[in-house]
Structure 1
Amino acid sequence: MPGLLALDWGTSSLRGALLDKDGLVTEERSFARGILTVAPGEFATVFEACFGDWTRAGASFCLIAGMAGSQQGWMQAPYCPCPAGFDEVAAQLSWVEAGRIAIVPGLSCINAGVPDVMRGEETQVLGAMQLLGKQDGLFVLPGTHSKWVRVRAGKIESFSTFMTGEFYALLRKHSILARSLPEADGEIVRPAFDEGVARALQGSSLLQTAFSVRTLSLFERMAAASLPSYLSGLVIGEEIGTQTLEPGASVVVIGSDALTERYGFALAQRGVTVERAGSQATWRGLWALAQTIPHKET
């Protein structure tokens, strides 16, 4: 399937890549046109403005992952229940335009009787499986809503969501801690981050440990510039502390260099090693899904 236009259309950004018949990226673009910036009924217009020249130049098929398939997106794509692999996901594409533009469904699962969902991360996991040649394993996708994904026999079996990034932002900007923290995060201060992770892994609740950001500042036990790294360590350590991880285990962490680095540091305190996958996982996942489609819907 030559000339695949692969899109990652999220809440705050729109990324696109043009892939050749072998799945190699020939060109990439990024726009600040996440779904929240697009008025209802205007998705086709934004799509044409951003990528119309690619489609006219031969990208005859477009596959879209992410929040474009949500209730606020271009078209609601129903969730595909777990366990799900390439075949199950490809079979439940939602077609914006028959044979030309399709949206990848999100995934759903049940954890302790409560539903959980993802949109976009499933494509990253499927892509990372291809890039790393894995059919089994634990995959971690850090971010605003971090995902821990269990893959078995080539299928996403289950996953759980942690509001780690969102809690960091709430504490960082909208709690009493904001008064102690500098305006900008700055670069990671490794000793402070490691201390935050270690404190979180000692077993105390984040409801208690978070207040130490204020007291360490109040008694001048930690420099202001180090406090954001310490708080980051607390919330990431809280997340990692909930996982059953055996020393010597390995997990795959998918995301930006900055976040995957932090998770690597934190997981090392649990004796766990990491393999990393970056933004190319999304493109690889979309390309592999495109190859799975037995025929274009008409």
Structure 2
Amino acid sequence: MSKAELIGLDWGSTSLRAMLIDARGQVLSERRSAQGASTLAGGPAGPAAFAAALDELIADWAPLGLPMLACGMVGSQHGWREVPYADCPADAQALAAGALAVPWRGHALRLLPGLRCESAAGVPDLMRGEETQLLGALTLAPELGARSCVVMPGTHSKWARVVDGGLLGFATHLTGELYALLRRHSVLARLMPSEDFSDPSAFAAGVRAARERGEEGLSHQLFAVRTLGLGGHLAGSALPDYLSGLLIGHELRAGLAARDADAPLVLVGEPALCQRYASALALFDLAAPRLLPNTAALGLWRLSQSC
């Protein structure tokens, strides 16, 4: 039976996932908590709050004396300790070199940096946590390291450009957060039911509107979500999926225009959401992309080899 070699923490804004990871990067045991970085106290009380959250979740793991590595918002300005971003282009060695340690129960917990890049126009972009998932994906499928476009759907979707095993740059799309805000807290929400209903045809219609008429502008097409409902063209139960398709369609329109044309696409993350993106890509007449699960644990294991 495999034995644990690493305690890995995937510590995001809203949740904490702690994992016992073996020498092959496989998760042997996992625990979860809602104590994300955004829910814990900032300022002087911050470090104590983060340590207490870890005590509550895995105090019994401390006697194991294993190396500890954490990725995500735990290393942000509002985290346990701020870890400066590493600059693109970057690889596993660059990320590991930027890790900083905090004490926990007599052990050193190393917090990984995020990544920073600039667009051709000089606009900065940032990620924290997704870089570890990306490295895990390249470990699971090494052939993607030669040249690929890795898409990580989520609250803040990332489109990463990989060449020769390194991350050259990336672009963030606020798709998931925009959907949540518009779905619950905008004028569009007034026509939508409180519960979600699956309507694949409405989702496809939203994707096609973005693909075929995206030049109308996202803000104009977003208002049409309301008018389609008011005019009886779409039922209220169909509006959430139409909105989702519209937002994802605009993300794909921009992401595909910016990617290297010959770079294979791969989707990494929560399976249901990746499948949703895959169905949208099919409406752009693209071959089915490769789908990989959340690979943060494997990425933490790979980075631990360089720390």
TM range (shorter): over 0.9
- TM superposition shift of 1:254: 1.4
- Alpha-carbon RMSD across the aligned residues, in angstroms, is 1.8
Residue aligning to 1:288 = 302
- Residue 7 to residue 152, structure 1, CA distance change in 2 (3 Å): same
- TM superposition shift of 1:261: 1.1
Which consecutive residues of structure 1, in runs of 5 or more, have no partner in the other structure?
Answer: 294-298
- Residue 249 to residue 81, structure 1, CA distance change in 2 (3 Å): closer
d(CA) in 2 for partners of 1:217, 1:59: 58
d(CA) in 2 for partners of 1:206, 1:114: 21
d(CA) in 1 for partners of 2:181, 2:25: 39
Q: Conserved in 1, the CA contact under 8 Å of 2:4 and 2:28?
A: no
CA deviations 1:62-94 (Å, max 9, x no partner) are: 100000000110110100000001111111111
- Residue 248 to residue 192, structure 1, CA distance change in 2 (3 Å): farther
2:155 paired with 1:155: no
One-letter amino acid of the structure 2 residue matched with residue 61 of structure 1:
P
Residue aligning to 2:117 = 109
Residue aligning to 1:296 = none
- Residue 19 to residue 237, structure 1, CA distance change in 2 (3 Å): same
- Residue 49 to residue 99, structure 1, CA distance change in 2 (3 Å): closer
- Residue 115 to residue 248, structure 1, CA distance change in 2 (3 Å): closer
Residue aligning to 1:191 = 201
Which consecutive residues of structure 2, in runs of 5 or more, have no partner in the other structure?
Answer: none
- TM superposition shift of 1:215: 1.9
Greater share of helix residues, 1 or 2? 2
Instruction: Give 3-state SS (helix, strand or coil) of 1:42's partner.
Output: helix
Q: 2:243 aligns with which of 207, 231, 236?
A: 231
- Residue 155 to residue 50, structure 1, CA distance change in 2 (3 Å): same
- Show the 5 A alignment for 1:140-289: 140-187=151-198, 189-202=199-212, 203=214, 204-243=216-255, 244=257, 250-272=264-286, 273-279=288-294, 281-289=295-303
- Show the 5 A alignment for 1:33-72: 33-39=35-41, 40=46, 41-56=48-63, 58-72=64-78
- TM superposition shift of 1:247: 8.0
Fraction of identical pairs, as percent: 43
d(CA) in 2 for partners of 1:74, 1:117: 18
- TM superposition shift of 1:54: 1.5
d(CA) in 2 for partners of 1:45, 1:149: 35
- Show the 5 A alignment for 1:15-94: 15-39=17-41, 40=46, 41-56=48-63, 58-94=64-100
